[in-house]
Every structure is written in C-alpha cells, then in structure tokens.
Chains A and B, each alone.
Chain A
Amino acid sequence: MEDKRRRLVGALIRALTISSVVVAAVLIGLGKPIATLAACSSYSGHSYAYVQSGTGSNVIGTGAWTTTWPSGYSIRNNGINFSDEAQWVDGPPGGIDLEGGFFSGAGHNVAWTDGLMPYYTLDTWQSEVDDAGNFLQYNNKIWLNTTEAYGANGAFIQVGQYDMYPGNVSVGSPVQNYAQGEVYDTNDYHVLMGGSTTSPGESFHEQWEDTSRNFYDWGFYGSCVDSGYGLSGNGTDTWNNWGGQNA
C-alpha cells in the first residue's frame, strides 16, 4: 500500500513537472525552431565543418597547407550557391574577425565565378572582398595564411600565389584560430564541400603564427560539423572535410 502510494505520488510529480516544462516551452519559445546542439549553423542551406584552436596573447595568425579542389570542380551556375575553404582569426566576442580563403560560386564584388577565387572577409559575412582577376589552379597544393595587423604591419592574407592586404585590421586579444569548409546551397543541396565523390574532401595541416611571424603546428583542436558533411583528423593539427551530393 505504502509502495503503491509512493508510486502514485511519484507519477503525479512527474506529470506536473513535464506539464510545467511544456507550458513554459510554449510560453517562451512558441514557434521557434529547436536548436540542434551538434550543428554548426542553424541557417538553412548553410553548412560548415570547422576546427578551432588557440587562444594565446602571442597569436596573430593562422596558416595551413591544403589543396585546391579537383580539376573540373565547379558549382552548377545558378547565381546563388557557393562553396569555400578558408581560415580565420577571431578575438573576443563583439569584435571583428578576419577570414581568408578561396571560393567558387556566388561572390560579392564578383557576381558569379566558376573558378576558384581568393577572397577575404571582415566580420564573418560582411565586407567580403573577392580577388577578381585571380584564379587558383585546381588540384594544387597551396599555403593559406591569415594574419591580423600587428605592430607596423597591416593585416595580410595569402591564398596560394595571391596576396591581399585588408589594411589595419586587428581582431583583439586573445586570438583564436579557425579553419573551415563551408557551403551555401538554398535549393539543391548538391554542393560538394571541398571535393568530389571520387576524391572526397581536403586535408588541412594547421599551424598558428606568433608575433615574430613564426609558424607552429596546432597542439589540439575542437570541431563542429553539420549534418550531411563529414570531418575527421588526428585531433591535433591535421583534419579532413568532405560531404555533399554529386550535382
């Protein structure tokens, strides 16, 4: 009898608790999408796989060895989609970040490109500058370097054989290092991130840069990947990304 009453009280408490949670959820978050903790991006059609390392007060840049996409890789020309591989340095929340890499598809000062074009951005998605007039060779090993302004030197972006100079851009301290593969595909979900089905994904060997412009291998990284894409690596300085469907 005592055992039955205890079970009944327990059941009532559970029911009340769940009901309260449901009502609170309805009141607070009516209509809002449920966040998926593992996803990097909640914005439809926009997907990442990225790695992050740092921070340190003597860090001013990120460097990586990687390869460009296979020969013939291009996004179906629809004026919207893009895919890129890039790295960036970021400081404390609220500041700007500095991102440099290469992309194919929809640009900013270039309406559309079928080629692999270097670019940089300030503040994540604003102030993108596409390096119009310069294309990277496909299937080619390249060095990426994104360095904030330090001392008398302005910020510096190197993408393969091309250099860009964003000016006196400092992201603040401490600096964190990031690298990513990214796609934006509003309708088709056919954009491949960093490769093809026959040669899936790219490998990045990540380094960080100190104030004397020396580079060192990352000692560790955290990662994030959106559904449909993949990421693997050794957990310290080398990682691979892949994914998407064949267009």
Chain B
Amino acid sequence: MRRIEPWWVYISLSVIVAAMTIFGLGVIEQRPSAVASQEQGSCSTAVSVFLTRRDLGAFTVMVNRTYTQPPWKGGGIGQAAPDFVTEYLQGRLMGYIANIALHGPDVPAEKAREHRIGYVGKWPLVPLEGPIVRDNRGLLEVYETVQSFKAWRAAATWVSTYRTYSGKPYPYSHWISAPQGARDSVAWAGTMGPPRPGTEHDVYYNARYGSTVLEMAFQGGASVNVQFVKPYWLKAAHRLVSVCRS
C-alpha cells in the first residue's frame, strides 16, 4: 500500500485554504434579488394560494406535495440541465378527486376495472374511466400546481417545454387560447383518450405570472370544457397574483 507523506499533504491543504480565501468559497452573499425570489417562492407555494373544497365542492385532497426540484426529468443523458432546473426555487401540487369517485354508486365498476388490470391502491385508478365518467358530467379530478423560479426566463422556458413539435398537442386534444393575464402559456382541451362515453374530458392550462407558473388540469365528464372550468381557473389565477402581491 502506498504510504502517505504528510508534509506535502499539508502544502496542498494550505493551497486549497488560500484558494478558498481568495475566491470566497463557502461565503455566499445573498443579494436582494435572491431574497426577493425566495419570498416569491414561499408565497406561491403557500396553501392559501390553492383552491379549496369550498371552491370545488365535494372533493377530497388526494395529493398535497411540495417540490424541492422541478417535477420533470431535466436534461437527457449527457445533456446539460435546462434553466428551469438550475433556476428552480420550489413548488407545490394539490390533487383533488370527487367524493363520488370514492363513495358513489359507480365504485364497484371502478373496482372491477382495477381488478381486471391488477391495480391495488388506496386511491381509485386514475385517470378515471367508464361509468363514473359517463354518469357524472362535471369535474372528477383537479390538479393544481404552482412552480416558482429565480427568473422569469426560466419560468418561460418551463412553459415552452409543454409545446410539441407537431403543433397539435395530443391525439385527442386541441390548442386553446391563452388564459387571461398570463404572459406565456400553453393550454389544450379535449378528451383523455378515444372520444367515447366513459373517457374523461380535460382542459389543461400552464401559464406564467412573473417568475411563477400556474398549472391546472381539469378532468371529468362531458360538461368539462373551457367555459365550464373558466371560473375555477380565474379564481386560482387571481388568488395566486393577489397573495403574492400582498
């Protein structure tokens, strides 16, 4: 085994210490803009920003989770991380499921479908499908996510990643216009599978307000369309902007 010679280890350590002193390693100065960004992060992920059961009705929260890293894969193998990864602050996701999907008359059909493919879990198999969707025209699943970034450009990149090459988002969806007041946005509406009874309809918004991105997925029965979800969207966007401004 090679013997360590302490004296030149000491010299190397001295050089490292000197370099750390010269270049300020370990001393991170928190500039005013960084402080502002952190405040923006905490306000945008506060629970008070999100829709509640008072807004949605008979729903149960099935997901309530904060993000410490952006909830996406980042770069591919050998690729540099994009700015929405390096400039990420924090985020929160709230997911709601209609109580009728938990306790309603179509639960046996949901269980049968789960049994058929082998799913076992606390929550119903989502996206919901079949009689529960056919029999209920309104919202069945709602997902609200808020992400904060250090800079608006990173937030804009994040939104832009949701666009696809083809100009048409997904096989059974179409682009819809930008939500009111958003600076950058991606939005689509359609069905979550082949358009037949029992397939959820969905409206999806992903929109930037400053360096914060509000993302909402509304899923449910045949009445779920842009007009139907507009009041919910406006309430969520208004709450985000007003809470973060106050």
Residues of A within 8 A of B (CB): 11, 14-15, 18-19, 22-23, 26-27, 30-31, 40-41, 43-46, 48, 50, 70-72, 74, 77-80, 97, 106, 108-116, 122-127, 129-139, 167, 184, 186-187
Contacting A136 at CB < 8 Å: which of B16, B117, B145? B117
Q: Which residues of B contact A23 (CB under 8 A)?
A: 15, 19
Contact B63 A138 (CB under 8 A): no
Q: Tell me what chain B mostly uses at the interface: helix, strand, loop, or mixed.
A: loop
Provide the bound-state CA to CA distance between A184 and B72, in Å. 8
Contact B8 A132 (CB under 8 A): no
Contact A115 B62 (CB under 8 A): no
Contact A109 B170 (CB under 8 A): yes
**Most central of A40, A43, A106, A187 by chain B CB within 10 Å:** A43
Q: Hey, what's the 0/1 contact readout for B108-138 against A, CB within 8 Å counting as 1?
A: 0000000011111111111101000000000
B77 CB → nearest A CB, Å: 6
Q: Which residues of B contact A139 (CB under 8 A)?
A: 118
A138 CB → nearest B CB, Å: 3
Contact A132 B193 (CB under 8 A): yes
Chain B minimum-CB-distance residue to A41: B77
Given A15-B11, A133-B193, A77-B85 contact (CB < 8 Å): no
Given A22-B12, A132-B192, A186-B69, A114-B119 contact (CB < 8 Å): yes
A92 CB → nearest B CB, Å: 13
Contacting B12 at CB < 8 Å: which of A18, A48, A70? A18
Chain B minimum-CB-distance residue to A97: B76
Q: Which residues of A contact B210 (CB under 8 A)?
A: none
Contacting B62 at CB < 8 Å: which of A30, A77, A184? A77
Contacting A115 at CB < 8 Å: which of B11, B125, B145, B204? B125
Chain A minimum-CB-distance residue to B162: A108
Provide the bound-state CA to CA distance between A187 and B25, in Å. 28
Given A124-B76, A129-B170, A138-B165 contact (CB < 8 Å): no
Asked if B29 is at the interface (CB within 8 A of a chain A CB), the reply is no
Given A111-B141, A111-B143, A125-B73, A186-B125 contact (CB < 8 Å): no
Contact B118 A113 (CB under 8 A): no
Provide the bound-state CA to CA distance between A11 and B11, in Å. 11
Q: Which residues of B contact A110 (CB under 8 A)?
A: 127, 192
Provide the bound-state CA to CA distance between A184 and B79, in Å. 17
Q: Which residues of B contact A106 (CB under 8 A)?
A: 71
Contact A137 B118 (CB under 8 A): yes
Given A125-B72, A125-B73, A139-B118, A112-B12 contact (CB < 8 Å): no
Asked if B95 is at the interface (CB within 8 A of a chain A CB), the reply is yes
Contact A124 B126 (CB under 8 A): no
Chain B minimum-CB-distance residue to A182: B73
B108 CB → nearest A CB, Å: 18
Provide the bound-state CA to CA distance between A108 and B217, in Å. 11
**Most central of B71, B172, B200 by chain A CB within 10 Å:** B71
Q: Which residues of A contact B199 (CB under 8 A)?
A: 133
Provide the bound-state CA to CA distance between A138 and B121, in Å. 13
Contacting B11 at CB < 8 Å: which of A19, A40, A80, A138? A19
Contact A132 B12 (CB under 8 A): no
Provide the bound-state CA to CA distance between A202 and B16, in Å. 47
